[in-house]
């Protein structure tokens, strides 16, 4: 498994999708798959184009956090999307991506219960260690169409020593949680299949919303019922997390019982 390279032939030989991953580019080493995805969008590559790298030198997560990207271990992927939805609905896509990834992990590693920390971090239920990060950014295609590049980092076969020292108490991988090596090509192919199905379901609603995923989200939600703090550009709000709305915004109940709608921010549980 150490040498299972998620290149075009290995991944596409396992694909069961109509569009996602059917056009694919693989790089042994790149600065950022999201950066290349934006270049390819401007060049007119189709919906579903997938960029995969064996390693990255400048991988990023949400809030411009660095994403550790060693070679031969994990998945670093960006997918070009032209959603059949207005751009107002695009902020829901990171949450859809997280749900699809959780379905993938439940299928491939059912012994590894995972949850989602709003908006899109995949974490282990018991230890709250982070296994995946998602960064979605707006992009323009060559004909002026507005779309999204969904960047996903999945820690597959990394061991503790593969992570920077400062991340070793927070990060984990599929291998660390199960003691098993996984095929990166299979993980990616299965994820693309689940992501395509989730997108199909989402696009069928009018307008697209997360309402049809409310039960699944509630089951995955690691913040639900917890006292949390939201950091927003140096400002902080506290309250009890009570789920998300149909647009994917976090619902925060304050001390008076009023519900605040949180559009963005970095959430963490408050330990009393």
The structural domains of the chain, with segments of one domain joined by +, span 8-216, 223-269
What secondary structure does DSSP assign to 1-59, as a single string?
-TT----HHHHHTT---SSTTTSEEEESSBS-HHHHHHHHHHTTPPTT-EEEES-BSS-
Instruction: Give me the chain's average pLDDT, please.
Output: 92
For the beta carbon of residue 246, count every other beta carbon within 10 angstroms. Answer: 15
108-144 pLDDT tens trace:
999 999 999 999 999 999 899 999 999 999 999 987 8
Q: How many CB atoms lie within 10 A of CB 144?
A: 6
- The structure tokens listed for 190 are 């299965």
pLDDT confidence bin for 242, thresholds 50/70/90? very high
CA 92/CA 120 separation, integer angstroms: 10
Cis previous bond, 155, omega within 30:
no
- pLDDT at 108 (0 to 100): 98
Judged against a pLDDT cut of 80, whether residue 58 lies above it is answered with no
pLDDT tens digit string along 157-169? 999 999 888 888 9
Residue 51 pLDDT: 97
In CATH, 223-269 is 3.90.1150.10: no
pTM metric for this prediction: 0.93
Instruction: Read off the pLDDT of each residue in 242-258 and give the average, rounded to a whole number.
Output: 96
pLDDT band for position 68 (cuts 50, 70, 90):
low
Fold match between 8-216 and 223-269? no
Those residues whose C-beta lies under 8 Å from the C-beta of residue 171, and which sit 6 or more positions away, are 68, 129, 130, 131, 155, 158, 163
Chain mean position to CA 77:
10
What does the pLDDT read at residue 164?
Answer: 85
> Within its chain, how far is the Cα of 171 from the centroid?
15
Q: Which of 234, 233, 261 is nearest to 248 (CA)?
A: 261
Residues 98 and 119: beta-carbon distance below 8 Å: yes
179 to each of 13, 90, 110, 153, how far by Cα in Å?
Answer: 26, 37, 13, 20
| 215 alpha carbon, distance to own chain's centre | 19
Worst-scoring range by mean pLDDT, 8-17, 42-51, 54-63, 248-257? 54-63
CATH architecture of 8-216: 2-Layer Sandwich (3.30)
Tokens read off for 50: 């997938």
């Amino acid at each position: 498994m150490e040498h299972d390279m998620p290149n075009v032939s290995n991944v596409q030989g396992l694909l069961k999708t109509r569009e996602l991953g059917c056009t694919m580019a693989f790089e042994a080493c790149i600065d950022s798959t999201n950066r290349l995805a934006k270049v390819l969008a401007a060049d007119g590559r189709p919906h579903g184009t997938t960029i995969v790298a064996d390693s990255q030198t400048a991988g990023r997560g949400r809030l411009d956090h660095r994403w550790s990207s060693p070679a031969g271990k994990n998945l670093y992927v960006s997918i070009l999307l032209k959603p059949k939805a207005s751009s107002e609905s695009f902020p829901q896509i990171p949450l859809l991506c997280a749900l699809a990834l959780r379905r993938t992990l439940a299928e491939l590693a059912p012994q590894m219960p995972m949850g989602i920390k709003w908006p899109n971090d995949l974490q282990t239920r018991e230890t709250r260690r982070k296994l995946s990060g998602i960064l979605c950014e707006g992009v323009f295609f060559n004909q002026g169409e507005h779309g999204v590049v969904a960047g996903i980092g999945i820690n597959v076969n990394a061991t503790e020593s593969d992570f920077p020292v400062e991340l070793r108490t927070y990060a984990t991988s599929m291998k660390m949680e199960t003691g098993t090596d996984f095929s990166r090509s299979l993980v990616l192919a299965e994820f693309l299949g689940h992501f395509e199905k989730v997108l199909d379901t989402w696009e069928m609603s009018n307008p697209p919303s997360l309402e049809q995923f409310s039960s699944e989200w509630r089951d995955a939600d690691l913040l639900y019922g917890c006292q949390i703090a939201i950091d927003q550009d140096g400002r902080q709000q506290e309250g009890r997390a009570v789920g998300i709305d149909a647009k994917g915004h976090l619902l925060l109940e304050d001390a008076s019982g009023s519900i605040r709608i949180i559009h963005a921010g970095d959430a963490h549980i408050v330990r009393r």
